[in-house]
Structure 1
Amino acid sequence: MIERQHVVNEFFPEADAMREAYDLKVKDPYKQTVSWQYFCAPQMYTYLRTVPQQMFPEPLFGRFMQHMKQWCIDHLGLVPMGVPNLHLMINGCTLGLHSDFHNGTWGFVYSLTRWQSRKFSGGETLIMRDGVPSYKKHHVQGESLYELVPAQFNQLLLFDDRIVHGTQTIEGSMDPIEGRIALVGHLRPTSPIVKGALDPAGARKVILDFHRQLAEQITAYKEVQGTLTFRLAIAASGEVESVTILTNNLVTPATGYAPSAEVEQVRNLIQRAAAALRFPAANGKSTVTAPVLVPLPDLKAIEIVVPHANRPARLQEVLKAQLKDIEAQGFQIEHAGDEFAVREPLAGSIRIESNRIAATFDPPMWVPSQRDHFQVNLKESLGMLARIGG
């Protein structure tokens, strides 16, 4: 079970190939074609970033993203939210202390930095420790307040996105070959992931009913916050054979990750309720991986309707042509008839009807701001589609 933060060394088998591709792109300043964004918010952030597709060959980067996604599903029960940014930090670059509560459940940093031969100081990820320093202590400084995690080559660092964190200021070379190079992104829960004989729609309904029942049971635990993901092994009969907790970042504001009776009670309640679930019978065994956000969020489906005055067939063709760009943002979509079935980041559908575009998605285990942001962006995207000329 993964809690608070986690490091995976030697994460991707083709890390050397990715680093070689990076070096080839930037080593000759007269031939470099990468478009960098200089991201500077004074007194907070200073760094360069770009989309990784500019840097790495498409097949290689595709294999990285597939490896990343599968590892996250297997070990965390979460998925990456779209494509990460590629960060370059050279002399003077820094990431001030901040929290990414609105961006994801977990943050990640995948390093392509040649850390052992670096020519700079700084560059470690700074992660604040739990608790407020006591004024009674005579002297508190440095790593009694925070932890510094070096950006070792081919290392994946994961941490709770709520934790205040940053990156130590780089002091040293201005050469992009000698900088701190990392892919940076966020992970969130997806709709339940169903493998095996079970019908996915039926299994998702069982989990949604489970969430609704759970919402009533944990109302009393007002201080517990966070996300727990679990994997159920399910017999052909529909009975749950085992419950494995994958991640657990349940905390209270007062205790953080320190032991808490309330947190333990909520974890046990969720585990017992999950073990008691009954799924429809099937012709073989299955697994279901699902999240629980505490406190439970809005459990109403996301429904967005946008009117249009175009030919439905025309809009379907346009949407099909845009699927590759949409999937690069983290969506997994299949086209069938007049419907586009969405698998990730949420299960749902987009239907192009005679005079409207209707989108429906499962309620996400996301905090309200994350859900709101998803809905606003989706409505804007569907609105743009609706305005395309016939």
Structure 2
Amino acid sequence: MIQRQHVVNDFFAEAEAMRSAYDLKVKDPYRQTVSWQYFCAPQMYTYLRTVPQQVIPEPLFARFMQHMKQWCIEHVGLLPMGVPNLHLMVNGCTLGLHSDFQNGTLGYVYSLTRWQTRKFAGGETLLLRDGIPSYKKHHVQGESLYELVPAQFNQLLLFDDRIVHGTQTIEGSMDPREGRIAFVGHLRPTSPVVKGALDATAARRVILDLQRDLAGQLKDREDCKDVQGTVTFRLEVGASGQVESVTVLIDHLVTPAAGYAASAPVDEVRRIVQQGIAALKFPDGAGKSTVTAAVLVPLPDLRPIEIAVPHAGRAAMLREVLRAQLKELEAQGFQIEQAGDEFLMREPLAGTIRIEATRIVAAFDPPMWVPSQREHFQANLRDSLGMLARAGG
């Protein structure tokens, strides 16, 4: 079970090929065609970034993302949100202390840095430790307050996105081949992932009923009101629909006061969640299945996301425009298919987009995301559907 942070060494078999492609792309300053964004927020962030496809061949990067996705579903029950940024940090670059809870459940850093032969100082990921330092001690400094994680080559670092973190200032070369090179992104819960005989729609209804039941149990529990975090789990479900085993993949339940330290309120919420999971009953199936799902505490808005936008265009033409737009999402790892007049999305959220005679209708399962993440998704979806409606006007 993964909690606060986790390191995976030798993560991707083709890491050397990706690094070689990067070196080839940037080695000649007179022929370099990479479009770097110089991201600078004074006293906070200074680094260069681009999309990985600028320097990594598309088929190779697609294999990395497929491996990333499969590993994340299997080990943490989460999915990458779109495509990561490729960060380049050279002399003077830094990431000041910040928290990313609005971006994801876990942050990740995948390193292509030649750490063992680096020609710079700094570059470690700094993760602030839990708790309040004791100023009764004579002196508190350094790694009593934080931990430093080196950006080893072909290493995947995962950490709780709520942790205050940053990257130590780079002191060294300005050569893009001698800097800190890493993919940086975020993971979030997906709609329940079902493999095997179970009908996916029916299984999602069972999980949603669980989430609603947990929301009711925890709503008026004064002793549990400060507990927050995500639990992801994988269920082995027999042909009868009974849960045969439960594997907790991540458990990020904490309180602001105790952090990851032992806490009676966290223990009580954990007991309620695990008891609810173990008692689940799915419909009968033709064989065994696995279900991977998540519970966010406190439980978020459990109403489906439903957006309708009027249009005055031809429905057939709008479907063609939408099909082209969705191909961009598919390139980022989203799973989408067309079924008649509907477009079905399975990941990261299960839902549909349907173009009717006079309106465009989108409906998605409620996500296990914090409110700001849901609001951001809804706003972007509404804007995208509005642009689509205007394209057919």
1:288 has 2:287 as partner: no
Match of 1:161 in 2: 161
**Per the alignment, in what secondary structure is the counterpart of residue 391 of structure 2?**
coil
Task: Determine what percentage of the aligned residue pairs are the same residue.
Answer: 78
Equivalent residues in 2 for 1:183-332, closer than 5 Å: 183-219=183-219, 220=221, 221-332=224-335
- Which residue of the partner structure matches residue 362 of structure 2? 359
Contact kept, 8 Å, 2:65 with 2:333, in 1: the verdict is: no
* AA aligned opposite 1:178: E
C-alpha distance in structure 2 between counterparts of 1:306 and 1:329, whole Å: 25
Query: Post-superposition shift, 1:70?
Result: 0.3
User: 1:376 is matched with which residue?
Assistant: 379
Provide the rounded CA distance (Å) in 2 between the counterparts of 1:76 and 1:69.
Answer: 10
User: CA offsets, 1:124-152, max 9 Å, x none?
Assistant: 00000001112211100000000000000
Mapping 1:84-233, distance limit 5 Å:
84-219=84-219, 220=221, 221-233=224-236
The one-letter code sitting in structure 2 at the alignment partner of 1:183 is F
Cα distance in 2, alignment partners of residues 54 and 336 from structure 1:
33
Find the aligned partners of 1:289 and 1:100 in 2 and give their Cα distance.
Answer: 24
The answer to whether residue 53 in structure 2 is matched with residue 50 in structure 1 is no
Question: Is residue 2:350 matched to residue 1:350?
Answer: no
The letter of the residue matching 1:73 is I
Match of 2:37 in 1: 37
Residues 348-381 of structure 1 show CA distances to partners (whole Å, capped at 9, x for unaligned) of 0000000100000000000000000000001111
Deviations 1:78-116 (A, max 9, x none): 000000000000000000000001000000000000000
Q: Distance in 2 between matches of 1:135 and 1:323?
A: 55
Q: What is the CA deviation profile of residues 24-60 of structure 1, one whole-angstrom value per residue up to 9, with x for unaligned ones?
A: 0000001100000000000000000000111111110
1:327 deviates by 2.3
Q: 1:389 to 1:269 in 2, by over 3 A?
A: closer
Q: Specify the code of the residue in structure 2 equivalent to 1:222.
A: K
Q: Measure, in 2, the Cα distance between the counterparts of 1:270 and 1:133.
A: 32
Letter of the structure 2 residue corresponding to residue 133 of structure 1: P
- SS of the residue corresponding to residue 162 of structure 1 reads coil
In 2, the alpha carbon distance for the partners of 1:326 and 1:183 equals 19
- Structure 1 CA distance, aligned partners of 2:274 and 2:116? 43
Instruction: Please report how far the alpha carbon of residue 326 of structure 1 lies from its aligned counterpart in structure 2 after TM superposition.
Output: 2.1
Give secondary structure in 1 for the equivalent of 2:177: helix
Measured in 2, the distance between the counterparts of 1:165 and 1:214 equals 31
State the match for 1:64 in structure 2: 64
Distance 1:71 1:329 in 2: 16
**Aligned mates of 1:293, 1:118 — CA distance in 2:** 40
* Counterpart-to-counterpart distance in 1, 2:81 and 2:207: 22
C-alpha deviation, 1:329, in angstroms: 4.6
Q: Is the 2:101–2:162 contact (alpha carbons within 8 Å) kept by the matching residues of 1?
A: yes
C-alpha RMSD of matched pairs (Å): 0.8
Report the TM-score when normalising by structure 2: 0.98
Paired with 1:37 and 1:186, the residues of 2 have a C-alpha distance of 19
The residue type equivalent to 2:36 in the other structure is W
Return the alpha-carbon distance in structure 1 between the equivalents of residues 302 and 54 of structure 2. 39
Is this contact kept in 1: 2:311–2:392, CA < 8 A?
no
Offset at residue 269 of structure 1 (A)? 1.5
Q: Partner of 1:25 in structure 2?
A: 25
Q: Aligned partners of 1:103 and 1:358: how far apart in 2?
A: 26
Equivalences, count: 390
The aligned amino acid for 1:320 is R
